[in-house]
């Protein structure tokens, strides 16, 4: 996993690319370089060495024919299988997935994307045709941001990198308004900043003769419709094998690997699947975060899970006094609003892993969306926030003229089934896109790579396509996953109850961090998006005990820190 950047157009030169690479050097602390093609195009790379640690695998990576220049962020997990297909036609000089990806593109063109099982964001510059090709993985695990003004096309792994390239920092008022009004984070191609776009997951782009074209390559909906009519003879066994395979693929690395744990079902199953791998487990380390609050911490369950297992547990504590500095640091790194104190606590894990030299971490992200694990999947709610019973938004604090421009987001519904449409929304438009952004930034901020086995596309597709009774049975959610987990989990393991709240955010913001919250929100009173009086009234109510939701408070803190 790394950082990529490039400029096609008038600004394509050494000085500009070095400036933008310096901005995102935390993404790839092991090596940094660029390639400039006669000031027509310049691409650069920040390398975090994971597979083939030799200098031969450094990027930008140039093809044997010298015509193609690749910069690549991510991992192609099935690169060994692809290499076997290509080895009779191509001579490989490295052991890297980078070289396999480039030769796959040369051999199959855009069709190579469907052959790749991985998380990736990459660009390939064709010197002969002066054409840029870029693509993003199916679910958008790895980021690709770009700016295009018909004179320069500038792309990067992070928004801050584009700002460093001279892209103006102008608020995208529509996205901010919807964030305050309904908690959305923009569509898959939007950002919180005007003229800064994302290449959506499962899409590719081509740029030639100053003409930009974007196309979809991953047709999830079509694949689901086909799978709905397909049933394995033994589904439990089939999915068990898929789970084992996806974890096995994500252990392909030439650096130390660890994993993140909470006390719930997903982490427990991940741990059990790791147990089944034919690897040296003595060096594997586990990581979990705590806030020293028994109402939220899951340390008891985590320790129970690890009992009689060889993995060392690293406990990463967050205290309220750390929050102000860390919140600002992460806000600057994210460049957009993020998920509150749980995200800050989660970042402590990657910091600890980096300090211990663990470069790759596995995590249980993605299970709830595929297996229907959220409470609102069963209560006919259209919520996009888990565990809320009343609105977490306070639109009364918004300026009347500003709020008049609000238009409710309408999400696609490609299926006849209501549950599938909710799951689809969470996978492609709400929960997974935002969680992947949060997690990519906080992991890469510390030069570590995060891998999510439960987001393997083959696994997600098959589970998603199953009937509702497969996921929710007799009121039990993630039914088949629980059934499979019971085959592996020790009977004496007690799982932590599923809880929507992971940290004492409400308590800290209303008590321990009251002065900091007050100072941050005071800044917003000078912003014409807000009604000063209503803002203060809601803040006073929160401090006086109306703190069942702290989401709106966190929204305002995010806005204050990003709009300064």
Binding residues for L-glutamine: 97
The DSSP bridge pattern shows strands 197-198 and 152-156 to be unpaired
Q: Is-cis flag, bond preceding 394, omega within 30?
A: no
Segment (H or E) for 520: helix 514-524
Candidates 538, 563, 540; CA nearest to 552 is 538
- Please, what sign has the CA dihedral across residues 153, 159, 165, 168? positive
Q: Is-cis flag, bond preceding 60, omega within 30?
A: yes
The β-bridge partners of 287 are 260, 314
- Length of the chain in residues, anyone? 564
Alpha-carbon distance of 97 to 81, in angstroms, equals: 11
How far are the Cα atoms of 8, 167, 215, 295 from residue 211, in angstroms, in the given order?
A: 12, 19, 13, 55
**373-411 as b/e: b if 16+ CB within 10 A:** bbbbbeeeeebbbeebeeebbbeebbeeebbeeeeebeb
Alpha-carbon distance of 502 to 494, in angstroms, equals: 18
Burial class (CB in 10 A: 0-12, 13-18, 19+), 324: middle
Whether 25 contacts 64, CB under 8 Å? no
DSSP 475: T
The β-bridge partners of 211 are 208
Alpha-carbon distance of 153 to 5, in angstroms, equals: 11
Query: Going by C-beta distance under 8 Å and a sequence separation of 6 or more, which residues neighbour residue 29?
Result: 46, 48, 447
Alpha-carbon distance of 479 to 486, in angstroms, equals: 11
Alpha-carbon distance of 45 to 33, in angstroms, equals: 6
Alpha-carbon distance of 63 to 33, in angstroms, equals: 16
Query: Going by C-beta distance under 8 Å and a sequence separation of 6 or more, which residues neighbour residue 337?
Result: 179, 185, 192, 555, 558, 559, 562
Enumerate the H helices of 250-366 as residue ranges.
Answer: 265-275, 299-306, 323-334, 341-355
Query: Going by C-beta distance under 8 Å and a sequence separation of 6 or more, which residues neighbour residue 515?
Result: none
Candidates 300, 356, 347, 304; CA nearest to 327 is 347
Q: Is 2 tagged catalytic?
A: yes
Alpha-carbon distance of 36 to 125, in angstroms, equals: 10
Whether 391 contacts 481, CB under 8 Å? no
Within a 10 A sphere around the Cβ of 254, how many other Cβ atoms?
15
Instruction: Considering the candidates 2, 112, 116, 316, report the single residue annotated as catalytic.
Output: 2
| Catalytic (active-site) positions | 2
């Amino acid at each position: 996993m790394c950082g990529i950047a490039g400029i096609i157009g008038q600004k394509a030169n050494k000085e500009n690319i070095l400036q933008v690479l310096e901005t995102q050097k935390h993404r790839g602390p092991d090596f940094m370089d660029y390639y400039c093609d006669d000031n027509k195009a310049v691409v650069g790379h920040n390398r975090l060495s994971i597979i083939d640690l030799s200098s031969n695998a450094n990027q930008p990576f140039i093809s044997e024919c010298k015509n193609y220049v690749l910069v690549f962020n991510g991992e192609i997990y099935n690169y060994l299988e692809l290499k076997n297909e290509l080895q009779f036609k191509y001579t490989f000089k490295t052991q890297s997935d980078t070289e396999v990806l480039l030769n796959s593109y040369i051999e199959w063109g855009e069709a190579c994307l469907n052959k790749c099982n991985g998380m990736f964001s990459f660009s390939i510059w064709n010197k002969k045709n002066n054409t840029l090709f870029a693509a993003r993985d199916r679910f958008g695990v790895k980021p690709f941001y770009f700016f295009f003004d018909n004179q320069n096309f500038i792309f990067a792994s992070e928004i801050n990198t584009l700002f460093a390239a001279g892209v103006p920092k102008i608020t995208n008022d529509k996205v901010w308004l919807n964030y305050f009004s309904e908690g959305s984070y923009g569509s898959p191609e939007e950002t919180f900043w005007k003229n800064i776009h994302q290449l959506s997951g499962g899409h590719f782009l081509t740029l030639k003769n100053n003409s930009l074209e974007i196309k979809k390559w991953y047709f999830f909906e079509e694949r689901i419709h086909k799978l709905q009519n397909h049933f394995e003879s033994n589904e439990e066994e089939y999915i068990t094998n898929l789970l084992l395979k996806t974890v096995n693929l994500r252990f392909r690395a030439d650096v130390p690997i660890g994993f993140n744990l909470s006390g719930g079902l997903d982490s427990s199953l991940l741990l059990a699947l790791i147990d089944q791998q034919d690897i040296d487990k003595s060096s594997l380390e586990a990581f979990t975060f705590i806030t020293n609050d028994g109402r939220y911490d899951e340390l008891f369950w985590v320790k129970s899970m690890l009992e009689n297992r060889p993995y060392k547990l690293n406990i990463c504590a967050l205290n309220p006094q750390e929050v102000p500095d860390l919140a600002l640091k992460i806000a600057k790194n994210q460049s957009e609003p993020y998920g509150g104190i749980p995200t800050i606590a989660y970042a402590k894990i990657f910091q600890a892993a980096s300090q211990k030299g663990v470069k790759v971490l596995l995590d249980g992200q993605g299970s709830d969306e595929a297996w229907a694990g959220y409470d609102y999947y069963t209560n006919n709610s259209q919520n996009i926030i888990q565990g809320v019973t009343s609105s977490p938004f306070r639109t009364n604090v918004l300026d009347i003229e500003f709020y008049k421009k609000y238009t409710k987001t309408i999400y696609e519904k490609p299926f006849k089934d209501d549950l599938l449409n909710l799951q689809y929304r969470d996978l492609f438009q709400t929960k997974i896109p935002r969680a992947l952004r949060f997690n990519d930034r906080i992991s890469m901020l510390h030069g570590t790579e995060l891998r999510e086995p439960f987001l393997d596309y083959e696994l997600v597709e098959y589970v998603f396509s199953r009937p509702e009774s497969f996921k929710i049975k007799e009121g039990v959610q993630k039914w088949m996953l629980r059934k499979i987990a019971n085959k592996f989990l020790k009977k004496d393991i007690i799982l932590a109850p599923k809880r929507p709240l992971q940290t004492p955010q409400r308590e800290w913001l209303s008590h321990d961090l009251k002065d900091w919250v007050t100072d941050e929100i005071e800044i917003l009173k000078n912003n014409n998006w807000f009604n000063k009086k209503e803002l203060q009234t809601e803040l006073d109510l929160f401090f006086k005990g109306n703190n069942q939701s702290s989401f709106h408070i966190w929204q305002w803190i995010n806005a204050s820190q990003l709009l300064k």
